Amino acid sequence: MKQRIKTIALAALLATAGAAQAQTILKIGYATSATSHYGVGSTVFCEEMEKGTQGRYKCQQFPNSALGGEREQIEAVQLGTQDIVNTSTGPLGNFVPEVKIVDIPFLFRDYDHARKVMDGPIGQDLQKKMEAKGLINLAWTENGFRHMTNSKRAINQANDANGLKMRTMENKVHMDGYKTFGILPTPMAFPELFTALQQGTVDGQENPIPVILASKFSQVQKHLSLTGHVYSPAALILSPAVWNKLSAADKEAFVAAAKKGAAAQRKKVNDDENNGIAQLKSEGMQVVEKVDGESFRKAVAPAYAQFAKEFGADKIAAIQAVR
């Protein structure tokens, strides 16, 4: 009888150990808070991925740049020391140069245009380029159209930005474009930005409304101008170290979950765009809603010759032609 009890106990122990081994915890990181658009998209992805794999895969989330800046997190995913990152494309061009084309100022007309490009053949081609560099892009998520904030003055037209020291991402396309507005671009990792604004190390920054809200930049910036100068896509990137171990069914489950996460993230961007301006005004920001967009387009036009050389005029035209 004792032997039988021991056998049952051992079987139960082995079953428990097997169940414990069967669940894999994946680390996912992003730059903003858990309640931000990145947090919303990542949470939906994680929930759907866990459901789709019957609980065999689960996420541990690391918001607020807990695993480092976006560039460091992309590198960690590439190396396999981090499992997933939900990141803007800003630093991604340092790993996959072809992706930089989507960072060209005033390339996209509106959200509908941008999303059609990213979800269509052009976005799919960029995903393949990423895979060749050891980055599995499960879905294009979203950061949003970027706008300018600063602590010095209102920006109504391109000339008003002249001489402002603005934090930018480590992204040559952004920096070349912003120089045409007379901005002094200052590359800086996102986790350092709030303090730099607080201390006056830089005059301003540029980010989508969801980031401005989530990062509480209204506490350290007086002026917001809705320039919409660059559309900022984002990507939910999985490490090949994880991807290559997945069964075909699990790969499908991950991609399906990523698509649902992307849809949720885009909805949050829309909601923040619709409601966030009023909130930022209530927090004391002075907002220029009707910026002279034509002055910015004229200013950046000379940079397009360089962009055409770098990426190909035909590729730029193909993006602009999407309807």
Question: Residue 5 above 70 pLDDT?
Answer: no
For position 17, what pLDDT does the model report?
46
Pairing of the two strands 84-88 and 24-29: parallel
For position 139, what pLDDT does the model report?
98
Q: Write out pLDDT tens, residues 124-167.
A: 999 999 999 999 999 999 999 999 999 999 999 999 999 999 99
Q: Report the pLDDT averaged over residues 94-118.
A: 97
Instruction: Output the DSSP codes for 131-144.
Output: HHTT-EEEEEEEEE
Closest to 311 in 3D by CA, of 138, 111, 129, 185:
129
Tell me if 158 sits within 8 A of 295, measured CB to CB.
Answer: yes
For position 173, what pLDDT does the model report?
94
Q: Write out pLDDT tens, residues 213-258.
A: 999 999 999 999 999 999 999 999 999 999 999 999 999 999 999 9
Three-state secondary-structure class, residue 178: helix
Quote the number of domains for the chain: 1
Full-prediction pTM beyond 0.85? yes
HSE value, Cβ hemisphere, 13 Å, CA-based, for 319: 29
Question: Residue 14 above 90 pLDDT?
Answer: no
The CATH number linked to 60 is 3.40.190.170
How far is Cα 300 from Cα 282, in angstroms, rounded to an integer? Answer: 33
- Domain limits at 90? 2-321
Q: Facing residues of 57 across strands?
A: 24
199: number of Cβ within 10 Å = 9
Q: Report the pLDDT averaged over residues 280-305.
A: 96
Q: CA 188, 189, 193 angle in degrees (round to 5)?
A: 75
For position 16, what pLDDT does the model report?
46
How does residue 4 score in pLDDT terms, banded at 50, 70 and 90?
A: low
Closest to 206 in 3D by CA, of 105, 320, 64:
105
How does residue 170 score in pLDDT terms, banded at 50, 70 and 90?
A: confident
Question: Residue 13 above 70 pLDDT?
Answer: no
Tell me if 322 sits within 8 A of 102, measured CB to CB.
Answer: no
Q: Write out pLDDT tens, residues 175-218.
A: 999 999 999 999 999 999 999 999 999 999 999 999 999 999 99
Q: Report the pLDDT averaged over residues 259-284.
A: 97
How does residue 22 score in pLDDT terms, banded at 50, 70 and 90?
A: confident
Q: CA 203, 284, 271 angle in degrees (round to 5)?
A: 95
For position 188, what pLDDT does the model report?
93
Closest to 37 in 3D by CA, of 82, 88, 102, 92:
88
Tokens at 186, concatenated: 């200052």
